[in-house]
């Protein structure tokens, strides 16, 4: 054993897995310790998206793959225009970890992203010092964009550069030096909390329901109908018909059912308000 670290290769498989799961127990408490930064970041993102800005995720290696995944989920879950959520990983989605040191890749991606002062960049890096991610974040700051860092090291160049730093310290990994275990889990939990809270503030959630989910397949069409039925207090069949009448717009379907508005007027009313709750209150 080196410095008290476990000899994983000498342990039974059950003990190896037990140690790995024990390591994950640290994740949520470490993320929770960053609650003030998460709140500030979520409110910043919601405010800037509401003002017409974009949300840009950047990272390299494991952090980059997590950033790409987070960005990919947001448009479908919350009905955002895909052009509003962008993401870049050093070397592209199939990249190897060696790309994280190539600053020229950052220059290429920056040219394509055309970051402006209205945008918010979420820069993800476990060490907080990845050259690619630092280069993109630094250029974003120069362009006037806001930068939110999601890191696992508080006193790091990326944390110090950012407007808001979410620095989730999970301590040493069970697999020494890896950042795809507890550090990666912490980044995922932090980004999920950050973006979901931002979407709540932006009016993309009604109660605990994904009112703007994109009904892109049979499962999601049924989910959208279920959401409309629950809010409006009607049958799934009535909700499905209302959605068809309102061109799949769940907010409009609720207004159509609850307020008795013609479908075309319900669609227009839904578009005029930040949230479904605002639309319902305005017509009460």
Active site residues: 73, 100
User: What are the tokens at 206?
Assistant: 């009604």
- Burial label, 226 (beta-carbon count in 10 A; 0-12, 13-18, 19+): middle
User: What are the tokens at 36?
Assistant: 């003030």
In this structure, the dihedral spanned by the alpha carbons of residues 149, 121, 59 and 135, taken in order and rounded to 10 degrees, is -90
Contact 159, 149 (CB under 8 A): yes
- 189 CB neighbour count, 10 Å cutoff: 16
Length of the chain: 284
Contact 194, 45 (CB under 8 A): yes
Contacts of 275 (CB under 8 A, 6+ apart): 203, 204, 206
């Amino acid at each position: 054993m080196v410095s008290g670290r476990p000899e994983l290769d000498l342990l039974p498989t059950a003990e190896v897995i037990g140690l790995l799961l024990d390591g994950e127990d640290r994740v949520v408490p470490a993320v929770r310790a960053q609650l003030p930064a998460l709140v500030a970041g979520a409110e910043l993102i919601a405010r800037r998206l509401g003002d017409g800005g974009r949300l840009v995720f950047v990272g390299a290696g494991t952090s980059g793959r997590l950033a790409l995944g987070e960005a990919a989920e947001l448009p479908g879950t919350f009905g955002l225009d895909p052009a509003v959520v962008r993401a870049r990983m050093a070397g592209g989605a199939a990249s190897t970890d060696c790309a994280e040191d190539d600053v020229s890749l950052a220059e290429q991606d920056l040219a394509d992203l055309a970051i402006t002062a209205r945008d918010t960049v979420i820069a993800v890096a476990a060490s907080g010092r990845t050259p690619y991610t630092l280069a993109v974040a630094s250029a974003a700051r120069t362009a006037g964009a806001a930068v939110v860092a999601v890191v696992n090291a508080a006193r790091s160049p990326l944390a110090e550069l950012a407007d808001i730093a979410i620095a989730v310290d999970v301590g040493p990994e069970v697999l020494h030096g890896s950042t795809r275990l507890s550090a990666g889990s912490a980044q995922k939990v932090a980004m999920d909390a950050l973006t979901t809270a931002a979407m709540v503030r932006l009016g993309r959630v009604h109660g605990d329901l994904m009112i703007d989910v994109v009904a892109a397949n049979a499962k999601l069409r049924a989910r959208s109908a279920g959401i409309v039925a629950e809010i409006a207090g009607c049958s799934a069949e009535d909700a499905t018909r209302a959605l068809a009448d309102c061109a799949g717009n769940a907010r409009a379907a609720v207004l159509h059912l609850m307020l008795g508005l013609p479908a075309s007027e319900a669609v227009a009313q839904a578009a005029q308000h930040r949230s479904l709750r605002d639309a319902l209150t305005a017509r009460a």
